[in-house]
Structure 1
Amino acid sequence: MSKPNTLVICSDQHHPLMTGYRGHPSVKTPNLDQLADDGTYFSRAYCNSPVCTPSRMSFITGKYVSQIDNWFIGCPLDPNEMTWARRLDRADIPSTMLGKMDFCGDYQDGGFTEHKILERRPAFDPYPRNTPMDSRLKGYIRPDKRKHIENAGIRSDVKTDGTNGHDDRYGFYDHDCIVTDWAVDYIKNKGNEQKSDPWAIYVGLLYPHWPFTVPKKYFDMYYNDPSLIQYPHDANFPNDDLHPALKRFQSSLNLGEITEYQLKKVIASYYGMITALDEMIGTIIQELKEQGLYDNTYIVYMSDHGESLGEHGLFYKQCSYEGSVGVPLIVKGPALPKGQQVDNPVTLVDLYPTIMDMAGLETEPDRPGTSLIPLIQNKTDKHTEYAFSEYHGNFFQQDWYMLVKGEYKYTYYMKERPSLFNIKDDPKEMNDLARDPVYNSVLKEFEVLLRSIVNPEEVSYRSKKDLGLIGPDGEDYTETLTTKELEDKIKKGMFPDEPGFPVWQ
């Protein structure tokens, strides 16, 4: 048999528990369920930063966000950073990127042999920023987040070119249909070539990312049967039981009161997007089977981060609750065990050494991840014991760092108290143990571990400096400046009028 091929499918914003194979009682995902039956799924998989660009730049380089200084959407990746796509290309294994990957600005190929994308991600210009990024200042409110809730439901029945997916009328259905067709054509061509040379393809789909709009048949599938709607836990708007940093996050989202009717529409739309996504993945896998390539192809399915979907009174990602920072992850391949669940904590930086392992290549020693293949094959018990994630982006004035180890999840909030959850006994993260003196020793152990991985103060300073949040005299604008004051200073010419969010030129 020829050397195996590699197919990586990455969705966007898929809650880790919302699939059939994870036991969700309502969401229909027959194709992902079959893939999990044919491979191994990970029950404790996490992204390394729960927002699009940093997460993707982390797993494409196999490095933590703080190793590559990719703090937020709009922060470009250094083109000199090695990616697994470039490693494959240099090893004469052609690598192809189809769809969303999120390289920012002029650097879009990421080392892939060839690439096709619909929506390009802009970079901040200039960068590092001269003007403070407003979304990390006191008083920041983002009004469109409420609108996504209000506009959830059936998408307009038109066919677009796939480049306007953030429009609440359309969402990303057309984008994903186009990218799916690209992937099917690629696989069909590989089958027709009848060559034994291995290849690798990355397919970047955008469902179930907001807007919460989906074709009618998928919406009706769930909305018309109330028994299928599973309402989120602790869905209080506002939620007084949240950590202070999360209270500010909820306030910045400007969600206001959300009715059961609105929640039902959002949930039905989100479930529908997952089922539509599953059908597209099924189409890609079916083409592999028809071309006789399925058995000799490694397949990875994962998402770049999760979606809170109302849990704890929150939507979207950005926080360290399970629904946001957790991700679905399935690995299937030739000679790998089938129908297996792995409970070790893993993160997406493990994908780089895993893909190197699949290709028979060595991983550079500066990568913090570990190949998942020995773990899948039950040939090691020495896989990294912890999962690490960090966040330096919008809605949070201060950075946070998360560790999962054993039965605990620890989040270190800069300049505030930490949080601690026993996610084995308290999987919905309702009881923060950090305020109980009994757990002081556990908190200390986690902080020691954190500081062995990263210097949180130094990383926080670097991230703020790049995002324009540290003044020339060392002033930390996240503590001293409000969004209203920034607006006034821009009008007076004290700061340049740089967009708060990157704009494509």
Structure 2
Amino acid sequence: MNNLIKAITLLSIVVCVGCKTKAQIETKKPNILFLFTDDQRGGTIGALDKYNVNTPNMDQLVQQGTSFTNSYILGACTAAVCSPSRAMLMTGRHYFNIEPNVYAQFAFSKEDQGKSDLLTFPEYFKANGYTTFATGKQHNGEDWLERGFSHIKSAFLGGMTTHFGTKVKDFEPETGWSEPYKNEEKFSSEVFGDAAVGFLNDYKEETPFLMYVAFTAPHDPRTPPQEFEDMYPTEDIELPKNFMPQHPFELADERIRDEVLLPFPRTETAVKKEIADYYAMISATDAQIGRILEALKASGKAENTIIVFAGDNGLALGQHGLLGKQNVYEHSVSVPLIFCGPNIPKNQKNDALAYLHDVFPTLCGLTGLEVPESVQTKDLTPVINGGEKEVRNSMLYAYNSWPGEVTRPSINNGGGHRAVRKGDFKLIVSAKKDVYTYQMFNVVNDPWELINLFDDENYKSVVEDLKVELQKLIEETGDPADLSKNEFGLFDNPEAYNFKKK
């Protein structure tokens, strides 16, 4: 009789396991929380020991995960660098192979803005059983948002805005977009933090979630809440080692909006004030990230959640005499990139070369999904897990003025940059009118990019190798730049920036 009872009990267990719903099986997949800041330069996290900024919650992510210390954006062909950057993040594609009406919406009619059939990672994860949620800055139009997200709360549709009184909208597939609304008392990061915390507090579904939380800070206007501004007295700010009153040679977009926020030449006092407010906005955003992490922990889902923290591009703020991000120096193309979660090594700082738009395939690798054929970048999972040292040994950086606006010299005035990183060395080719300027830096020994080795005979072979590598990457990525022509030939044929499916 006892054996019969045991057999019946075992059969009942098997039947119960076999009867699990699809939703219950889906919960085995990890949740995803993507935290995204605007204009946050790589290294501006206290735990990374490069800049003196207070970020206890970002520090916590560094300690709990794997940080990529050589993480970058590819670049942009418009002064609004964040828009191509976000388009690349969303699709895992190089901006040369994304429709320009998505990342340069200002150049297109309203009915064409954001129209694209390219696959985005929220859309892909939604199709694979995830409930997807977004809040914060969305700079590539409404089409991708409506297709990719199950719920949208407090979305800012645009490039930049005031941080107190940010105008936002909500979206639900059943009801569409809400009327715009704003809260003039709350800093933008708190508005988006509220939306993210609210989603976590209310989430009762059994399916896994993907949260996309995109802050508008620390992008200017640099107006931090007073309590955070008080943390950074201007007189205590240390100038960067590569501070210059002005850039040493003429370059692309040197009078773009970002660059005229301060007069020329730059003064030490004015730059210190910009840095102080920038750090204060990072700290204010860090506090909201802390609220979101606490809500995630309280939800009981933290142990099964992959957290990604990243920035959309860097910022000069006095380095090399520049203020903006319309260049390919380290301060403008470097971004923070951290992965935390199940089976991800803790407190690891990895120096493998990584692009921001590696996030799409890497999330696939970390969750066991196949990488879609449309994706052009690399899955960093083998590097994170220690199976491989790197997924690439070189990388391309690109910036130039928007081809359609070069006739407006007060805004854009032509010019561009192409650069390649391989090993410890980085070669930058800058084109302005009929002048080419070459710079080569050992970015490991000279991270501030102050010692130009291009004309040093001891590095002649390195220069030649980098030139070959640069041309190779231009061809591989679909970059329309022709290094043999004035200003890379980009303004001879604006049609080169029309969408080319590759």
Picking from 222, 232, 242, the partner of 1:212 is 222
Picking from 115, 124, 129, the partner of 1:92 is 129
Are the aligned partners of 2:73 and 2:355 in contact in 1 as well (CA < 8 Å)?
yes
Alpha-carbon distance, 1:113 to partner: 3.0
**Secondary structure of 2:48's aligned partner:** coil
Alpha-carbon distance, 1:357 to partner: 1.7
Picking from 191, 197, 200, the partner of 1:178 is 191
Runs of 4+ with deviation above 4 angstroms? 75-78, 105-108, 161-164, 170-173, 246-252, 468-472
Are the aligned partners of 1:63 and 1:368 in contact in 2 as well (CA < 8 Å)?
yes
**Secondary structure of 2:46's aligned partner:** coil
Are the aligned partners of 1:12 and 1:208 in contact in 2 as well (CA < 8 Å)?
yes
Q: Match for residue 62 of structure 1?
A: 92
Q: Match for residue 74 of structure 1?
A: 106
Cα offsets for 1:72-91 (capped at 9, x unmatched)? 46365552111111111111
1:15 is aligned with what amino acid?
R
Written as runs of structure 1 = structure 2, the 5 A alignment for 1:435-446 is 435-446=455-466
Cα offsets for 1:186-214 (capped at 9, x unmatched)? 11122xx1x44211111010111111211
**Secondary structure of 1:364's aligned partner:** coil
- The structure-2 alpha-carbon separation of the partners of 1:433 and 1:74, relative to structure 1 and needing over 3 Å to count, comes to farther
Picking from 413, 416, 424, the partner of 1:399 is 416
Alpha-carbon distance, 1:410 to partner: 1.9
**Secondary structure of 2:67's aligned partner:** strand
Are the aligned partners of 1:353 and 1:369 in contact in 2 as well (CA < 8 Å)?
yes
Q: Match for residue 265 of structure 2?
A: 257
Between 1:344-353 and 1:104-113, the stretch displaced more is 104-113
Q: Match for residue 18 of structure 2?
A: none
- Greater strand share, structure number: 2
Alpha-carbon distance, 1:171 to partner: 11
Distance 2:355 2:96 in 1: 15
Q: Match for residue 459 of structure 1?
A: 480
- The structure-2 alpha-carbon separation of the partners of 1:408 and 1:209, relative to structure 1 and needing over 3 Å to count, comes to same
Any gaps of 5 or more consecutive residues in structure 2? 1-26, 108-112, 170-182, 403-411, 497-502
Percent identity over paired residues:
28
Question: Quick check: 1:30 aligned with 2:56?
Answer: yes
1:447 is aligned with what amino acid?
K
The TM-score normalised by the length of structure 2 is 0.77
Q: Match for residue 500 of structure 1?
A: none
- The structure-2 alpha-carbon separation of the partners of 1:16 and 1:317, relative to structure 1 and needing over 3 Å to count, comes to same
Alpha-carbon distance, 1:372 to partner: 1.8
Written as runs of structure 1 = structure 2, the 5 A alignment for 1:286-297 is 286-297=294-305
Distance 1:319 1:78 in 2: 28
2:289 is aligned with what amino acid?
I
Q: Answer 1 or 2: higher relative contact order, Cα 8 Å, separation at least 6.
A: 1
Distance 1:382 1:24 in 2: 23
Distance 1:85 1:457 in 2: 25
Distance 2:375 2:38 in 1: 24
Written as runs of structure 1 = structure 2, the 5 A alignment for 1:83-162 is 83-104=120-141, 108-109=145-146, 111-121=148-158, 160-162=165-167
Picking from 222, 239, 259, the partner of 1:231 is 239
Are the aligned partners of 1:53 and 1:74 in contact in 2 as well (CA < 8 Å)?
no
- The structure-2 alpha-carbon separation of the partners of 1:117 and 1:442, relative to structure 1 and needing over 3 Å to count, comes to farther
Cα offsets for 1:15-55 (capped at 9, x unmatched)? 21221111146311000101110111111100122611000
Alpha-carbon distance, 1:424 to partner: 0.9
Determine which structure has more spread, i.e. the larger CA radius of gyration: 2
Are the aligned partners of 1:232 and 1:309 in contact in 2 as well (CA < 8 Å)?
no
Written as runs of structure 1 = structure 2, the 5 A alignment for 1:297-376 is 297-376=305-384
Are the aligned partners of 2:66 and 2:338 in contact in 1 as well (CA < 8 Å)?
yes
1:52 is aligned with what amino acid?
C
Question: Quick check: 1:410 aligned with 2:427?
Answer: yes
- The structure-2 alpha-carbon separation of the partners of 1:173 and 1:233, relative to structure 1 and needing over 3 Å to count, comes to farther
Are the aligned partners of 1:20 and 1:27 in contact in 2 as well (CA < 8 Å)?
yes
Question: Quick check: 1:378 aligned with 2:386?
Answer: yes
Q: Match for residue 500 of structure 2?
A: none
Alpha-carbon distance, 1:177 to partner: 1.4
Distance 2:146 2:438 in 1: 39
Are the aligned partners of 1:298 and 1:333 in contact in 2 as well (CA < 8 Å)?
yes
Between 1:330-339 and 1:248-257, the stretch displaced more is 248-257
Are the aligned partners of 2:58 and 2:286 in contact in 1 as well (CA < 8 Å)?
yes
Distance 1:440 1:250 in 2: 34
Question: Quick check: 1:281 aligned with 2:281?
Answer: no
Q: Match for residue 71 of structure 2?
A: 45
- The structure-2 alpha-carbon separation of the partners of 1:97 and 1:108, relative to structure 1 and needing over 3 Å to count, comes to same
Q: Match for residue 14 of structure 2?
A: none
- The structure-2 alpha-carbon separation of the partners of 1:16 and 1:367, relative to structure 1 and needing over 3 Å to count, comes to same
Are the aligned partners of 1:392 and 1:460 in contact in 2 as well (CA < 8 Å)?
no
Alpha-carbon distance, 1:453 to partner: 2.7
Distance 1:248 1:333 in 2: 41
Are the aligned partners of 1:223 and 1:264 in contact in 2 as well (CA < 8 Å)?
no
Distance 1:266 1:17 in 2: 17
Superposition RMSD in Å = 3.3
Are the aligned partners of 2:165 and 2:185 in contact in 1 as well (CA < 8 Å)?
no
Picking from 9, 16, 40, the partner of 1:14 is 40
Are the aligned partners of 1:173 and 1:207 in contact in 2 as well (CA < 8 Å)?
no
Distance 1:78 1:91 in 2: 23
1:453 is aligned with what amino acid?
L
- The structure-2 alpha-carbon separation of the partners of 1:121 and 1:348, relative to structure 1 and needing over 3 Å to count, comes to same
Alpha-carbon distance, 1:411 to partner: 2.2
Distance 2:277 2:258 in 1: 23
Alpha-carbon distance, 1:431 to partner: 1.3
Are the aligned partners of 1:171 and 1:213 in contact in 2 as well (CA < 8 Å)?
no
Distance 2:185 2:382 in 1: 36
**Secondary structure of 1:310's aligned partner:** coil
Alpha-carbon distance, 1:470 to partner: 4.6
Cα offsets for 1:259-315 (capped at 9, x unmatched)? 333223212111111110110111101100111111110000000001111111111
Between 1:375-384 and 1:69-78, the stretch displaced more is 69-78
- The structure-2 alpha-carbon separation of the partners of 1:215 and 1:252, relative to structure 1 and needing over 3 Å to count, comes to closer
- The structure-2 alpha-carbon separation of the partners of 1:60 and 1:201, relative to structure 1 and needing over 3 Å to count, comes to same
- The structure-2 alpha-carbon separation of the partners of 1:385 and 1:267, relative to structure 1 and needing over 3 Å to count, comes to same
